[in-house]
Amino acid sequence: MRIWTWNVNSIKAHFEQVSEWLKVEKPDVVCLQEIKCETPNFPAAAFEEMGYSCAVHGQKTYNGVALLARGKIENVATGLAGDEADEQARFISATVFGNGRPVTVASLYLPNGNPAPGPKYDYKLAWMKRLKAKAQELLATEEAFVLTGDYNVIPALADMKRPEAWVNDALWLAQSRAAFQEIENLGLTEAFRALHPNEVAYSFWDYQAGAWPKNNGIRIDHALLSPQAADRLIAARIHRDARGHEKPSDHVPVEIELVD
């Protein structure tokens, strides 16, 4: 089972790029973030023509997440428990079925948190606590699951080209990294680093200041796997070439592959 995560930075603006890549690569499961549209406006019919079932948690103008799968999608759930006032569309999970054993997959769009300190950063840290609680809940089932998406966290110095540019940014602040580490320390495996401990690779390049031509990137799109999913992990890769598209998202697809 090949599982992709991709922050598409507006499905309307980048539908052509996304559809082109899916037609060529044909991943089994696709987790999208920042679709920036309400659920009824998501191009589900177009993806269904490509062979994908769709589950969508949209929001007007901002945020929004979706799951696409070539097999069945069941047990769809949206949002994280712990804050009834939170209306931001940042989390969707479901059971997906390939040719073998089912897997619970979540597409998540963790808050950016800037400017920090401030209310937006407080929201980011609170959201991460709620994600940790969700991970604990899923771990108790002792079943395979994948929490993947745009975490808006740079885990280590190796995950950025220009550390000096991120010193005071919410993506790199010590509290952000510690909160990410707390979730991983529950017993989850960060797929890309597990298989590529020393590789220099990024998943995001800003549109500003020539970041892409200069390779001034950061790695903020991650997949955290339960022990049952990690046992099945055979590959992890970043589709860097997607950033070179004529009208690209500022993120590229990150893929993991699980053996059935």
pLDDT at res. 78? 98
The mean pLDDT of 152-178, rounded to a whole number, is 98
DSSP three-state, residue 193: helix
Collapse the DSSP code of 230 into the 3-class scheme (helix H, G, I; strand E, B; otherwise coil) and give the result: helix
pLDDT for 117 equals 97
The C-alpha angle 66, 150, 233, rounded to 5 degrees, equals 85
pLDDT of residue 30: 98
Residue positions counted in the chain: 260
Average pLDDT, integer, range 216-225: 98
Give the pLDDT confidence of 21-67 residue by residue, as tens digits.
999 999 999 999 999 999 999 999 999 999 999 999 999 999 999 99
By DSSP bridging, strand 29-33 and strand 2-7 are parallel
* pLDDT score for 203: 98
pLDDT band at 260 (very low <50, low <70, confident <90, very high): confident
Helix (H) or strand (E) holding 183: helix 174-184
Strand-pair category, 103-109 with 145-150: parallel
Looking at beta carbons, which pairs linking 13-19 to residues 24 or more positions away fall under 8 Å? 13/247, 14/247, 14/248, 14/249, 15/43, 15/46, 16/247, 17/242, 17/245, 17/247, 17/248, 17/249, 19/46, 19/47, 19/50
What pLDDT sits at residue 187? Answer: 98
Angle (CA) 24 30 43, round 5°? 85
Question: How confident is the model at residue 252, as a pLDDT?
Answer: 98
Residue range 176-211, pLDDT digits in tens = 999 999 999 999 999 999 999 999 999 999 999 899
User: Contact at 8 Å (CB) between 34 and 109?
Assistant: yes
Q: Give the pLDDT score at 87.
A: 97
Question: Where are the chain's structural domains?
Answer: 2-258
Residue 188 Cα distances to 48, 90, 154, 223, angstroms = 32, 20, 17, 9
Give the pLDDT confidence score for residue 21 in this predicted structure: 97
What is the per-residue pLDDT across 83-136, written as a single tens digit (0 to 9) for each? 999 999 999 999 999 777 899 999 999 999 999 999 999 999 999 999 999 999
Residue 99's pLDDT is 73
| b/e per residue 23-60 (b: at least 16 CB within 10 A) | eeeebbbbbbbbbbbebeebbbeebeeeebbbbbbbbe
The C-alpha atoms of residue 74 and residue 60 are separated, in whole angstroms, by: 25
Span 2-258: which CATH code? 3.60.10.10
Dig out the tokens for 89 from the structure. 């569309």
Peptide bond into 117 cis (omega under 30): yes
- Quote the pLDDT of residue 209: 87
